[in-house]
Amino acid sequence: MEKVKGRLLPLLLIFINMLIVASVMESAYYIENFSMFLLLGYAFFPVLTGLGFIGALRGRGKLLRGVFFFLFLGAVYVSFLLISNLPVEKIPSDLDRIVTLITRGQRLSFQNFEVIMKLLVFAGSVILTLTLYIFPYQLIIFDMGLIFFLWIVDYYDNTYRYLRYFLPLWAFSIILYRAGLADKEAKNFKVNKGARILQAVALTLVITLASLLINIDEKGVYSDRIWNYFNNQVVPETFLEGRSMKDPFNISASGYTDSERLLGGNVNINEDEVLWAVGEEPIYLRGNVRLRYTGVAWARDNVVYETGGRVDAERVARYEELVQGDEEALKMMEIRPRKTITSNLFNSLYAREITFPNSFARVFYDPILGVFASNETVTSNYRIAYYQEDAVEKSLRRVNPGSQLSDNSPYLQLPFTVTERTRALTQEIVQGIPSVLGKAEAITAYLKANYAYTLTPDTPRDYVDFVDYFLFEDPEGYCVYFATALTVMLRIAGVPSRYVEGYKMGTEMRGDRYIVRNSDAHAWTEVLVDADNDIWMTFDATGTPRELIYGEEPNPDDGPVVDPDDPVETAPNETGSENPRPGQDEEDPEVVNPGASWLRLIVLVLLAAGSSFLLVLFGVKKWRIHQAYSKASLKPFFREITQGLAYLYMERQPGETHLEMAARIKDKAVREAYTRLVEEVYKEEFSKAPGHFDERKELRERVYLLVRDYRGRVFYLVRKHFW
């Protein structure tokens, strides 16, 4: 029976730990409408199963062992019901939805996480209970695994805060275990166990209270240096040089001639499937961007890709401004390669981010040309978050900001091969048109009206400028001809432009996916319409072979036989470890003080410790609030209000000032008051004289009323009065 009592407290710690794990997940992902009540059973019954099993083996007397045995059977049955009724088949779709919402920057609800959280809590409780006899620090290892996971998936900004949740539990378990070892070596384990529990509780309270006094929002002198060091060990900061890529994208893979070597000539394009695209609409999929026209080809530029698949915050902010907060303008598309083509990642002109959901491949980004690549040939599915071109371009046409660049800009450079008659024709077309968009539209319309599409044009003569030959000697060609001519003529007209190759998606669908074929390979032009913010717009003077030669819907007999199964990669399932057998302990020493009730002692100690802990927390919180209200300096109060706003998921983003964060607060009264507070704190910081803000109590009350409405009364009471 003493063995059962000895395992009761560790089992209770497992139960509490899994509830803390759930709370950490809620905090990490900002899960709204979080319900701890729905998770209690998934943490409790696996632990109860362990208690019943231990009692059935180690209980004193047949009757007591029988009671524990039936407890074990009942807990197993309930656990089976819980897990069998769990719709685990929803997990892939839930994960996909979660990734989509995170990528779009939208809020997550408990409904998105419910199945995953239940399975996580249940599996964690089972694993920790089974390994209770094997290793005493298994609980700490499990928790550190969770923290490391959150750190590795870029939640490192919050990870250091999670240690505070786990610290009391870790401290108590370590102190109790180490003290137990000392008692066991002295053959006096049972005599001193009560004292050891009280000592463990006392030391845990001291450690916990000490951690509460540490301002975790303030960085240490070496924190950035240490973070950068460890971050570089796990994910080294590096770059990818374009010239070292083994297979950069070129539309020659679809049957065109290699535009890096020679433009023009006859082409033969088949209907092989290249990739599938799952999204809401067909878009232009950019593969590569070229700047240097030589007269006979588009030279390959030495692109340097930086680590990371997310576009810089300034550009994203400009896109958001252009779409004017239209949530429908932010789209998602998943690209599923059907052939091994390139290490470039196809993207939209107004891409926000590219991610690999189920692959260890890394994403690199060139902010100058707005192109993406991987460190290996792309065979895995990847996702694009982008802003709808129509929504952005509609706003650009309304604003029409213009683009003034110096003549030595790479977007305006022309080779000596460009002829005078090409220049004269261009000037004639744009004469009297002042705007960038007007010039681009005029030249595009001219090419569409006066030149024919064919896949078998005459080959340009040697030593003749490619654009001049197309415009004046053989007015037939395909997309490479039109895009090159449009780009060169725009540069002559003083309009910054660049040549782009990729795929223009058609409307052919199979199920929920668009089918992209070799006949969708295409070249077009991008025009710089807002030089101040580096915003471009697509201009296209012709169509694709599928549109103009084969028709929109190709003959299925011309294409390869395609496996109908969806190639979406899924994360491998993890298998649990074998059920370990409990170890055989030494014979119990003679019991001293046999009338002591360990269960009653544990309950009393926990109640006393909990009450004391709550009183201490209440006192510390009151003291902090008093300091925030009474101190001449506004900094303590500013930290308190900023923390209160964090409970509303209103936290300062990387690179964002507090004033910029204040502008995002929805409640008008709080936004205005917090803005005044930030301004006074700034004054205090620079003038070293205390700021003036007379609305301290009113602002705090208003913030916590919002916390109550948003997070519930329990969360509100705990955060306002205790933690």
For every residue of 430-454, DSSP letters joined together read HTT--SHHHHHHHHHHHHHHH-EE-
Alpha carbons 234 and 156: distance in angstroms, whole number: 13
Residue 358 CA, chain-centre distance (Å), reads 13
Query: Three-state SS across 215-248?
Result: CCCCCCCCHHHHHHHHHHHHCCCCEEEHHHCCCC
Q: Are residues 627 and 490 in the same domain?
A: no
Instruction: With beta carbons less than 8 A apart as the criterion, state whether 302 and 288 touch.
Output: no
Alpha carbons 83 and 119: distance in angstroms, whole number: 8
Single-letter amino acid code for the residue at 704: Y
Retrieve residue 319's tokens: 């896109």
Amino acid 602: pLDDT? 55
Nearest residue to 723 via CA among 211, 29, 171, 61: 211
Q: Is residue 34 part of a domain?
A: no
Q: Are residues 500 and 436 in the same domain?
A: yes
Instruction: With beta carbons less than 8 A apart as the criterion, state whether 118 and 38 touch.
Output: yes
Retrieve residue 160's tokens: 């250091």
Give backbone dihedrals phi and psi of 40, rounded to 5 degrees, phi first: -60, -45
Regions in the chain scoring below 50 on pLDDT: 1-2, 4, 154-157, 181-182, 185-191, 216-235, 553-599
Retrieve residue 271's tokens: 């209907």
Q: Is residue 57 part of a domain?
A: no
Q: Are residues 422 and 353 in the same domain?
A: yes
Q: Are residues 367 and 458 in the same domain?
A: yes
Alpha carbons 142 and 13: distance in angstroms, whole number: 13
Alpha carbons 634 and 683: distance in angstroms, whole number: 10
How far is CA 412 from each of CA 96, 489, 495, 497, rounded to the nearest angstrom? Answer: 43, 10, 7, 7
Alpha carbons 240 and 231: distance in angstroms, whole number: 18
pTM for the model stands at 0.52
Burial of 540 (0-12, 13-18, 19+ CB in 10 A): buried
Nearest residue to 625 via CA among 636, 614, 610: 636
Nearest residue to 495 via CA among 464, 451, 539: 539
Burial of 269 (0-12, 13-18, 19+ CB in 10 A): buried
Alpha carbons 515 and 505: distance in angstroms, whole number: 8
Strand 351-355 versus strand 292-293 pairing type: unpaired
For residue 539, the cross-strand partners are: 525
Single-letter amino acid code for the residue at 620: V
Q: Is residue 535 part of a domain?
A: yes
Residue where one domain finishes, among candidates 494, 528, 558 = 558
Alpha carbons 259 and 706: distance in angstroms, whole number: 60
How far is CA 90 from each of CA 87, 101, 113, 121, rounded to the nearest angstrom? Answer: 6, 16, 10, 17
Alpha carbons 207 and 134: distance in angstroms, whole number: 27
Residue 399 sits in a domain of what CATH number?
Answer: 3.10.620.30
Alpha carbons 671 and 665: distance in angstroms, whole number: 5
Give backbone dihedrals phi and psi of 345, rounded to 5 degrees, phi first: -110, 120
Retrieve residue 282's tokens: 């067909």
Q: Are residues 551 and 602 in the same domain?
A: no
Alpha carbons 440 and 460: distance in angstroms, whole number: 26
Q: Are residues 498 and 637 in the same domain?
A: no
Residue where one domain finishes, among candidates 558, 576, 611 = 558
Q: Are residues 548 and 657 in the same domain?
A: no
SS3 650: coil
| Runs of H (alpha helix) within 631-712 | 635-646, 658-662, 668-687, 696-711
Q: Is residue 609 part of a domain?
A: yes
Burial of 206 (0-12, 13-18, 19+ CB in 10 A): exposed
Retrieve residue 131's tokens: 């390994």
Task: Compute how many other C-beta atoms are within 10 angstroms of the C-beta atom of residue 629.
Answer: 13
C-alpha angle 396-284-403 in degrees, rounded to nearest 5: 30
Amino acid 531: pLDDT? 85
Amino acid 177: pLDDT? 64
Kindly state the DSSP code that residue 592 receives in the 8-state scheme. Answer: S
SS3 307: strand
Q: Is residue 530 part of a domain?
A: yes
Give backbone dihedrals phi and psi of 413, rounded to 5 degrees, phi first: -70, 145
Q: 638 lies in which domain range?
A: 598-723
Retrieve residue 60's tokens: 């004193």
Q: Which residue has the tokens 């916990």?
A: 208
Q: Are residues 457 and 523 in the same domain?
A: yes
Amino acid 276: pLDDT? 94
Amino acid 196: pLDDT? 54
Number of domains in the chain: 2
Q: Are residues 415 and 293 in the same domain?
A: yes
Residue where one domain finishes, among candidates 558, 589, 612 = 558
First to last CA, the chain: 39
C-alpha angle 303-308-313 in degrees, rounded to nearest 5: 100
pLDDT tens readout for residues 395-430: 888 876 666 666 668 899 999 999 999 999 999 999
Q: Are residues 548 and 613 in the same domain?
A: no
Q: Is residue 678 part of a domain?
A: yes
Amino acid 160: pLDDT? 54
Retrieve residue 663's tokens: 């502008």
Give backbone dihedrals phi and psi of 310, rounded to 5 degrees, phi first: -110, 135
Instruction: With beta carbons less than 8 A apart as the criterion, state whether 165 and 192 touch.
Output: no
Amino acid 537: pLDDT? 94
Nearest residue to 576 via CA among 46, 28, 36, 70: 46
Retrieve residue 242's tokens: 């374009």
Q: Are residues 505 and 617 in the same domain?
A: no
Amino acid 447: pLDDT? 96
Q: How many CA atoms lie within 13 A of 510 on its CB side?
A: 15
Please state the length of the chain: 723
Nearest residue to 129 via CA among 49, 225, 34: 49
SS3 717: helix
Q: How many CA atoms lie within 13 A of 366 on its CB side?
A: 25
For residue 347, the cross-strand partners are: 286
Q: Are residues 491 and 621 in the same domain?
A: no
Instruction: With beta carbons less than 8 A apart as the criterion, state whether 350 and 370 touch.
Output: no
Q: Is residue 710 part of a domain?
A: yes
State whether the Cα torsion 451-455-457-461 is positive or negative.
positive
Q: Is residue 366 part of a domain?
A: yes
